[in-house]
Amino acid sequence: MGAKNTDNGHIAGAVAADEPGKVRNVVLVGPSGSGKTTLTEALLAATGTVSRAGAITEGTTVCDHDPAAIRQQRSVGLSVAPLEHEGVKINLIDTPGYADFVGELRAGLRAADAALFVVCAAEGVDSSTIALWQECATVGMPRAVVVSRLDHQRADVEAEITACRDAFGDGVLPLYLPARERPNGLVGLITRRIFDYTNGFPPSVDSPDAGDISRIDAARNDLIEGIISESEDESLMDHYLNGEEIEVATLISDLETAVARGSFHPVIPVSATSGLGLSELLEVLVSGFPSPLEHPLPEVTDPQGKPHDAITADPDGPLVAEVVRTAVDSYVGRVSMVRVFSGTLRPDRPVHVSGHGLAERGHDDHDVDERVAHIYSPLGVELREVPYCVAGDVCALTKVSSAETGDTISDPSDPVLMRPWSMPEPLLPVAVVAKTRSDEDALARNLSRLVASDPTLRLERNSETHQLVVWCMGEAHSDVVLSRLRAGGADVDTEPVRIALRETFAGKASGHGRHVKQSGGHGQYAVCDIEVEPLPRGSGFEFLDKIVGGVIPHQFIPSVEKGVRAQLEKGLADGHPVVDLRVTLVDGKAHSVDSSDAAFQTSGALALKDAASRAGMAMLEPLDEVEVRIPDEHLGTVLGDLSSRRGRVLGTESDEAGVSVIRAEVPATELLRYAIDLRSLTSGTATFTRRFARYDPLPT
C-alpha cells in the first residue's frame, strides 16, 4: 500500500529506517488541550511529510472509514507519526491527554526511548503531568519540555518555565526564550543568536537586538551552570568560575550528553500555528535524545518464564518485538502497532506470538505461530507499506489474528516473552446488558475485540448476580467503551451493578432433616440431626461428624455434608451463599434398603433449612481494604468522604513529597462510583487501590 493523495493534502511515501542509530522514538506527554496533536501535525508539515498541518487527520483513511471514529482515535488513542530530519527517522508517539487512558500512555512510554512533555503557556502544570514526569524519572527516561500555544491570549512563557521548574525540578532549564524585539523570533541562550520565523520555516539566523542581550544574560548563566554541573569534565566549572568563556561546541556536546542521560531537561518554546521553535525542537529531538542503541531494553524470558539471554538493538540479532497497541477495523481487521527491539521484522515470514499474565482481565494465555504478510509504517490513521522494520523502529501489522496489546512477537525457532509493562487496575464497574438476543452475539464479539486492544479493561461474568461487568478506568473510559460496543452493532444498555452478598446464621440452632418417601419399589429414607453455630468472619465452613453407634452408616456421612454444602451455595433466606458456619452431625436414622446417597443429601439440606428457621439469618456485605494516595491538602476532604461511605480508617501516614496515604475498610457497595467521586474531590490528584478484605454484617 503506497502513499495516498487526497484533496486535503499530500502524504509522502514511507521510508524504513536502515539502522537503529538513525531512529528516535519520542512519546508526547501532556494534558488534553496542551497542543500535542497540533504540534505533531506542524512538525510533519515543516519536514515535508505532509503538505500542510492537518492533512493526515482529514478525509477517508485506511484504518477506519468513520470520521467520528477518527476523532475519537485522536483524543483517546495512541498514534504514531514518523518524519525525517537530517537523515534521522523520528517516530512521534502521540498519547491521550485524559487520565482515564493512562494505559495508552504507558504503552507509548514502552515504545519510546525519550519523552517530550507538552505544556500550555497559559495553563501551568497539572498533577497528572507531574505524576507522569515522576514515572519517567523512575526509569531514567530522557525528557524535554515544550511550552506550547504561545499565541494564547494569556500565554506567559517565563511564568510557565518557572512552573515547570517548581513541578519537575532544577534540571529543567530553557534553551531558548521568545525574543521581545521580534514577535516571530527565539533567542538561543547558548549561541546568543536570534532564530527569526518571520518568513516561515526554516528560520533565518541573526544577531540579537540589544534589548534581548541584556534580558537573557541571567537565564544564560543559569543554563551554562546547569550544563557544566552535568559535565564529565570537572575542570569546566573552575574555568567558568574564573570568568573564562566556555566554547559553544563544548556546551552543546555536554548538553546532549546530559539530556540523553536523563539528568537535564531543556525547555523549548514553540508555536505550532506560526512554526516558531520547530527547527530548534527538531534539533533537540535528533541531537539531544538517545537512539534505541542507547536505551535499556526490557527483560525477556522464554514462554515458560525461564531466564533467557538479554537482547540488544541489533538488526541482525534474534527477532524480538512487542505489540504496544491493537485496533480492530471492520475493513482491514486487526491492526497491531509494534515496536521492534531486536532483529528485523520482514514480510512473508513466520513469527511466534506469546501473551501471558492478563488472564484475570479476559486475555487468555497463548503461544502460537503466525505469518506476517505485510509491514506498514503508520502515519496517524494512515498505513503505508514498507519492506522491513529494523530493531528500534516502530511499524504496524495487519491480520495477525492472535496478537493483543502487550504480546511478544519473536522468532519461532527461539520464542521469548517480554516482561510486561505495569498496567493500572480498572476501578469503575459498569454492568452492560444486550437489548435483544441478536445483540448478545454482537456484544460478545465486540467485547473480545475491546479486550484484545485495551489491557486496562477487565471483564467479569458474575455467576452470583448474573451480570456482565466491564471494569473501566473512569467515566470517560466507560463512555468510549460503550460507544465502541454500539458502533460495532451491539445495542446495549447499562444497569446498576449488583453486589454479591452473603448470609450467615444469627446464632446457634439445631436442625432436623427427615426425608422419607415410599412410591413402590425402593423408597427413600434418611433422617439426620445437626447442630449449627456461626463462626468468626472469614472462617469458612466446617463439618464435624459426631455420630456414634453407627446410626448413620459411614458411607452416608459424606452425603449429609454434600447436601449441606449444596444448600449453603443456594442460600437460605434470600438466595445468597451462606458462609462462616460450623455444622455438626449428631444423630440420625437409616434404612437397610431405602437409604441412599441422594436421600441423605436431601436430608442434610432439610436439616440446614430447619436450623435456619430457628436461628434466623444475618446478611453480610463485602468489605474492601482501600488505600488512597492524595496530596496533603485534600486529606480532610477525603477522610470526611470515607466516613460518609461507612468507611473505617485504619491509619494515615505522610511522606516527604507531601503525599498522604490513607488505609481504610469500606463496604464494596459504597465504592461503585468511588473512582469518579475521588477524582472530583481531589481535582484528579488522588489514586486508590482496593482489594477484598472480608464480609461484615449488613446494617439493618
Same domain flag for 396 and 435? no
- Cell numbers for 664, please give them: 481504610
| 236, 249 contact by CB (below 8 A) | no
Rounded mean pLDDT of the chain?
87
Q: Which amino acid is at 148?
A: S
Same domain flag for 507 and 595? yes
Look at residue 215 and tell me if it is in a domain.
no
Look at residue 364 and tell me if it is in a domain.
yes
Residue among 452, 544, 448 nearest 490 (CA): 448
Axis crossing angle, helix 597-615 with helix 557-570, rounded to the nearest 10: 50
Q: What share of the chain is helix, strand, coil (3-state, %, to 5)?
A: 30, 30, 35
Look at residue 583 and tell me if it is in a domain.
yes
| 507, 532 contact by CB (below 8 A) | no
- Cell numbers for 503, please give them: 448470609
SS3 37: helix
| Cα 480 to Cα 457: distance, rounded to the nearest angstrom | 12
More confident residue, 211 or 58: 211
pTM for this predicted structure = 0.81
Partner residues linked to 119 by β-bridges: 147
Same domain flag for 414 and 331? yes
Confidence of residue 59 (pLDDT cuts 50, 70, 90): very low
Q: Which amino acid is at 518?
A: Q
| 308, 300 contact by CB (below 8 A) | yes
Within 8 A by CB and 6+ apart from 63, the residues are 327, 329, 332, 335, 381, 382, 383
Partner residues linked to 584 by β-bridges: 531, 544
pLDDT score recorded for residue 330: 66
Same domain flag for 411 and 369? yes
Look at residue 225 and tell me if it is in a domain.
no
Same domain flag for 478 and 526? no
pLDDT score recorded for residue 628: 95
Confidence of residue 72 (pLDDT cuts 50, 70, 90): very low
Partner residues linked to 514 by β-bridges: 527
Look at residue 486 and tell me if it is in a domain.
yes
pLDDT score recorded for residue 489: 85
Tell me the CATH number at 585: 3.30.230.10
97-111, 113-127, 311-325: which range is least confident on average? 97-111
| Cα 29 to Cα 42: distance, rounded to the nearest angstrom | 16
- Cell numbers for 70, please give them: 477518527
Tell me the CATH number at 454: 3.30.70.870
Range of the domain at 448: 428-495
| 168, 131 contact by CB (below 8 A) | no
Same domain flag for 507 and 470? no
75-79, 289-293, 555-559, 647-651: which range is least confident on average? 75-79
Same domain flag for 489 and 507? no
Look at residue 309 and tell me if it is in a domain.
yes
Same domain flag for 563 and 593? yes
What share of the chain in percent tops pLDDT 90? Answer: 50
Same domain flag for 304 and 412? yes
Tell me the CATH number at 408: 2.40.30.10
pLDDT score recorded for residue 641: 96
pLDDT at residue 615 is higher than 50: yes
Residue among 38, 63, 73, 66 nearest 52 (CA): 38
Last residue of a domain, one of 367, 399, 418: 418
For 641-680, b/e burial (b = at least 16 CB within 10 A) is bbeebebebeeeeeeeeebbebebbbbbbbbbebbeebbe
Last residue of a domain, one of 381, 397, 418: 418
| Cα 617 to Cα 430: distance, rounded to the nearest angstrom | 30
DSSP 490: -
Same domain flag for 354 and 412? yes
CA angle 633, 686, 264 (to 5 degrees): 90
Tell me the CATH number at 678: 3.30.70.240
Per-residue pLDDT tens over the stretch 109-138: 889 999 999 999 988 888 778 888 888 888
Same domain flag for 573 and 631? no
pLDDT at residue 208 is higher than 80: no
- CB neighbourhood size of 213 (10 A): 13
Look at residue 164 and tell me if it is in a domain.
no
DSSP secondary structure string for all residues of 621-652: EEEEEEEEEEEGGGHHHHHHHHHHTT-EEEEE
| 577, 464 contact by CB (below 8 A) | yes
SS3 171: coil
155-159, 215-219, 567-571, 695-699: which range is least confident on average? 215-219
Overall average pLDDT of the 628-649 stretch = 94
pLDDT score recorded for residue 241: 79
Per-residue pLDDT tens over the stretch 336-392: 999 999 999 999 999 999 987 666 655 677 889 999 999 999 887 788 999 999 999
Q: Which amino acid is at 462?
A: N
Same domain flag for 307 and 414? yes
Look at residue 243 and tell me if it is in a domain.
no
Last residue of a domain, one of 392, 418, 444: 418
The total of structural domains in the chain comes to 4
| Cα 456 to Cα 426: distance, rounded to the nearest angstrom | 6
| Cα 624 to Cα 477: distance, rounded to the nearest angstrom | 23
pLDDT at residue 53 is higher than 70: no
